[in-house]
Amino acid sequence: MFSTAGRCGALLAVVALMLVATVTPVALGTRVTTTKSGMGVDGFAYPKGIIRLTVKSTEKWQYQPDGIILPAASELQVEAAKEGNKWTLHNGDCALTVTSASPQLSFQFSCQGKPLVKATASDNVEALPEVNFTFPAARTMYGLAEHAADLPLRGDAVYEMYNTDAFQYPINSTKALYGAIPFIMAYSAAATSGVLFLNPSETSVRINSEDAAPSCRWQPEVGVVDLFFLPGPTPAKVQRQHASLTGATVMPPYFSLGYHQCRWNYMNTKDCLSVDEGFDQHNMPYDVLWLDIEHTDKKKYFTWDKYTFPDPKVLTTALASKGRKLVTVKDPHVKREGGFAMHEEASKGGYYVKDANGNDYEGECWPGRSSWPDFLNTRTRNWYAEFFHDDRYPGGGRDIHTWVDMNEPSIFNGDKGTMFKNAMHTLDDGHTVSHGTIHNAYSFYSIQAVYKGMVEAGGAKATPERPFILTRSFFPGSQRYAAMWTGDNMARWDHLENSVPELLSLSISNFPFCGCDVGGFFFDTEEELFVRWMQAGAFMPFFRGHAHLDTKRREPWSYSPASQPIIRNALALRYALIPYLYTNFYHAHTKGNTIMRPLFFEFPEQEKLREVQNTYLFGRAILVQPVAQKGATEVTVPLPAGTLWYNYFTGEMATGGTYTMPVDLNTIPMFLRGGHVVPMKLRLRRSTYAARLDPFTLFVALNAQGNSYGDLYCDDGTTFEYAKGSFVHRTFSFSESTLTSSSFTTDTPASNGVFAVANAVERVVVYGYSGKVSKVVLTTAHNAIDMATELDFEQVGATVIVRQPKVLVAADWFIAFENE
């Protein structure tokens, strides 16, 4: 660890780049035209062919959310048609044609001459900012997260987007939930494009069913028409373009990819330590213990109940001694109680949202009478961030992280369970704006303040560490700071089954770090359902068990002795996969990729996969279909064509098509994709920290040509040093019967060689090997001299297992397989 002020100042400068968006003004664009009705039409060019178009009044100020779009816009080339009232905006191979024919504006977005999006909007300053879209090159639309519904958007449905506290929400529903990403991906094998409509007011989107091409009607309640056209032409490129605008996922601290144990509520220090010890006694790994609202002093956040948690350091120290962490909930509402320092400061400093009369907005939430910080301005965010600092938060330190719940914001006596729309916010430039105008973005600014506070928590002389934050509510940009979960689901089979399409929709809407309450939040979880949910959770980016206070205790060992080994195996599999998952997060963070991938997303040329929503890719190399039916004895897995697939547990090979397999309670339908190498750690430990020095096993799944490729990314898992090149990144390639380890060469910045990895490779498993192996030889370099060592191996059919090569995973080497 570095402790000099200069070193930490440099690190804080790196971190500051992630927060600079808080003061980024709305970009200046190119004026296309001012219509006769007084509507200003402006165009903006962004990298990768993206074009932005805004339509708003030229006579009055209108709110547009700042800090969400990251890149600077550049000027567009605008070509006016000879006949007038028609303009074409060019950005690389893409063009947006704008036609003004009062009372309507029409837009057509095309790339390489192919029309991708057609849209119309009103040319009337008094009209609502409604837009009709048609996607002439597409067959299916996705997005409009978050909804407990199918992955594809269904015709004749109205999708609501108004962040709300959705109590015991139903599935197969398009009603509003906790977060909103106003984005659509329109897919076909021929062309895929996307549209982001950056308007945070209450919005409904009607999906049409009668049109030949997919079409929809967006109806925001107020605000500006602010459209981003994303050219694709593949789903993966649309995702990366989306990430280039609002930011890629946060780079998670390594521990946060382990299992999280939560309950409303663990009631005291003894209870917490008992749960922690229970995992060890039952040989089940976990990394994070969570505390819900009852740990506080009468629901006053940033406090502790002095009777049940008299010394928080006792708990954090005990967890830290095993490499584990604590998460405490910190909801945004503030209890209005005289003498409570947070409330006193907020009231005197003018940090609260105001009501229509200019007084502090008041409402009911967990503490009773409460008010809400006005996170829309930097001044309030800076003030709120201070409460996360170690010198202000009792028990604070590097081992306590943050859960932000109820930040829609949830208000028990509010309008639709949230803040009245006539409440008023104050912006940095002095403008005031109604809550109804900004509602869906409130949570974005709330977690921006949390992230800032946690990064600064150690003070100017401490090395900044990556925070872990979980948010329930979100808007585009939230993924830069936090993970999310799907809120208060139920312990029912249909909720387990629905969790996959819901998370897939979020994943391809640029929120990769997502998960659900494993086991279901409401109601007691029957044993088989809990086992299946733990197996499914192992393949979700965020993996947390959580339960309502009225449910029976359901720590993973709470079920029968027959189920405990199965649950342990699910946890062990998740922990084995964390090196692979962390590598995928690195690519998502640096390139804008995602983690959970629908089959159509990864195999866009195969349109028949576009309706598949319960089978998916976990990263690029693993296909999984969680069993979500009670009493299942058989499942049919759709395997994409043109690829070899290997049952992870047996090495059995399958080709593309429908694959039917028997299942029992132990079975997880999991397949390795031919052509990919998956690095894993197979030794069962109590936490990610305990496994940090463990050796790797490389699973090499060969394609039809006998080749395979994969990589492994490692850093300290804690700090931001990786952003300055302090990491190790290796590639593994198998071709011509040789497995080669070499340095990954295309990172920006490149590895600076400071960070070192001492882990060895203890096993190589090759699936799909052709021929009978007679010898396996490892070659390494020592003092510039190649050293050859013959290795022990075993071959069973097309599977070859090489044991104990005893070579560093971070070194250059190759292993040659010689046939008889």
Q: Specify whether the CB–CB gap between 323 and 687 falls below 8 A.
A: yes
Choose the catalytic residue: 287, 292, 488, 517: 488
Instruction: Tokens 């387990």: give the residue.
Output: 496
Which burial class, exposed, middle or buried, applies to 109 when counting CB atoms under 10 A from its CB (0-12, 13-18, 19+)? buried
Q: Specify whether the CB–CB gap between 170 and 183 falls below 8 A.
A: no
Amino acid in position 701: A
The CA distance from 719 to 757, in Å, is 16
Which burial class, exposed, middle or buried, applies to 526 when counting CB atoms under 10 A from its CB (0-12, 13-18, 19+)? middle
Of 649, 587, 604, the closest CA to residue 622 belongs to: 649
The secondary element (H helix, E strand) that includes residue 100 is strand 94-101
Instruction: Tokens 């009792």: give the residue.
Output: 394
Which burial class, exposed, middle or buried, applies to 281 when counting CB atoms under 10 A from its CB (0-12, 13-18, 19+)? exposed
Q: Is 578 left (phi over 0), alpha (psi -120 to 50) or beta?
A: alpha
The CA distance from 617 to 599, in Å, is 7
The CA distance from 310 to 302, in Å, is 14
| Dihedral sign for Cα atoms in the order 193, 197, 202, 208 | negative
Choose the catalytic residue: 297, 405, 694, 715: 405
Q: What are phi and psi of 269, to 5 degrees?
A: -60, -40
Is 211 noted as a catalytic residue in this protein? no
Of 12, 4, 3, the closest CA to residue 724 belongs to: 12
CA atoms within 13 A on the CB side of 84: 3
The CA distance from 296 to 303, in Å, is 5
Is 405 noted as a catalytic residue in this protein? yes
CA dist 790 → 540, 777, 780, 803 (Å):
39, 4, 12, 11
The CA distance from 510 to 198, in Å, is 14
Which residues are the active-site residues?
405, 488
